[in-house]
Every structure is written in structure tokens, then in C-alpha cells.
Structure 1
Amino acid sequence: MIAYLFAGLIGLTALCYALAQAIKRIKETEQTIAKGEARRQAQVDRIRRAGRACLALSRELRDAKRRRNAQEIACEDLEERLRASNAVDRRLYVLDDRRTQNDLGWIVRVANPDYGQRVNANLEKSALESWKRGRRFLVWALDEKKAREKVTARFHDHKGFAITGVTRQAE
């Protein structure tokens, strides 16, 4: 009977040891599952942050494209205005450079709409257009009357030249 009791005690000890080992493995498995869940949650958080960052970057990119398009339109408008301002002839021709100390500078605009027919038909179209609009000449004279006389001496009325304006040159 002692042998049975001893065998039962050994069996009970083996059972307790096996249960202790099983509980230990269950706790280790629970810890592994908890670590895996923590890693999964951390990964989910990283994915969400990356998603929010991607969304923010996407919005920023869309806004940047809008700004770029608006700037391109503004640049095109500015280039068009620049082309238009360059189309205006800003040249100032010097009638002659002889002058005295008392002479003043006068800007005289001379136009000839019939320059091609009356003076020179072989000019380029842009030169003919500048004569139609009027060319500006710098004339040195004591007064406006003398400036007009100098210009009419060079550009005669019978050839179609007309003075369209006389202003004093800014100092």
C-alpha cells in the first residue's frame, strides 16, 4: 500500500509539475500575444500617422499646384503686358547735337501717316508704323518756336510730316 501511496504521490507531483509547466507556457504565450498586440497597435498608429501625413502632403501638393497655376497665369499676364509695353516705341531720336549753353531740350513728336507713299516705300513695316504713330526727336533750342523751326526745316510739310506735340525735356 505504501507503494501505491508513493506511486500516487509521484503521480501527483508529476501532475503538479506538468500543470506548473503548462501555466508557465500559457503565461509566456499570453505575454507573446500581448507583445504582438502592442507591436500591431504601434504599427497601426504608425500607419495612421503616415496616412495623416500623406493626406496633409496631398492637400499641400494640391494647394501648391493651385498656387503654381495662379502664378503661371499671372506670369502669362505679366509677359503679355510686357510684350505690349515693348511694342510701344520708346526711342528718342536726336535731331542734331549742336547746342549752346542757353539751349533747352525739347521733345518734338513728328508723324507722317503717308511716309511710305511720299518719302520711302522700301522701309520695313515696323518703321512705317513708327512714322504713323509719330517719332520723338530731341531738339536743342532756346524756345518752343525755335524747336519747331528746326524740325520743320528737316521734315517738310509738303512731304506729309506734321508736328503732333512739343514738350520740354525733363532735366
Structure 2
Amino acid sequence: MELFLNLNNDWKQLVYKNWLLLKMLQYPLDIFLYDDSYGMDFLLCKALEWESNNPEEDLKKLERFVNSRLQHISEEIADSICQMEFIHINSNIDNLSPLSLFNNIKIVDFHGENKSNVNDFIPLAKDRYIYVLDYADYETINFDLRSNITSIPNIKYIKGYGIPLELSTIVCDLKGYNIHNINQGYE
């Protein structure tokens, strides 16, 4: 619980939304990874059945809901969040230092978030492999051009256009996520 409480507001919102969509609501991780057209917030609105003809109002409703839940988060939920193995990072995040405290992280996902300003991957230096996903149909981030990602030996950086062929192998090790039979991917 203390780990969660020490996160800044952007990180609290981010990890709570990840937990809510992928753990609590059990939105299929494979569908999330194969679709970069909506983004996590819109998928949350859809999963919560809050889609309307006014997407901006839907997003405001989601923000109010998340902020309300964060004010009264239980120790059980906070602990579950801190045990997540997968986290999708949005473009609001420019510092990965909180991830050094998430001991079970296996995959850090940036797919479809081509505006990321992250340049320091030292917080992911661990004694096991961590996959960093950077793929999209239109534009990748290319962390290898402006960060220290390639100097950290345990990071497996997967980037490119289209769905990575390695995706099914990468996610098969995750526990507690709703994963259907992921296709073999395509380029």
C-alpha cells in the first residue's frame, strides 16, 4: 500500500486504469495489444458501458470515476496493482522510476503511444528479462535513437510497424490476465 501511496497522481491514475481494465474488468489483453485505435481510456469507457455520442464527456466521466476510486483505494487493490506483470504507459508519463518498485513487471507497453518522452530505462534494470513494446501501424517511438534502452542488457526492445511476430510468445508467461488464443502476428 505504501508503494502505491507514494506514486504521483499521473502514475496512480495510469496504474489504476491498467488494473481496472485488464485485471478487474478482465478486458482481453490480446485484444488490447492488437488494437491501437482506441487507447486505454476509450476501452475503459466501452468496458464500463459508458460509450455515448459524446466521447469527450465519456472521458470526463471516466476521470471523475478514477479520481473518486483513488481517494478510497483499498489495501487489497493497491497491493494487486503493485503486483501487475504488464503495464501500458501513456504519453503523460515521462519518467519510469516508479517501475523500479514493481517487482513483477514483465512487459512495459508503449504500443500506439508515439508521443512518449521517456528517455531513461534504468528503472527496468533487473535480473530478468523485461519486454518493452513499441509498435504501431503509423509511427513508433524509436527509443533506441534517443534513450539508454539498448544499454540495459535485460531489456528486450520490440519495435516496428504492425503487430510483432513475438507477441504471442511474450504474453504467454503472464498470470491472471484474460488472454485468448493470440494469433501468431503479422508484419
For normalisation by structure 1, the TM-score amounts to 0.18
Larger Rg: 1
Q: Which has the higher helix share?
A: 1
Q: TM-score, normalised by structure 2?
A: 0.17
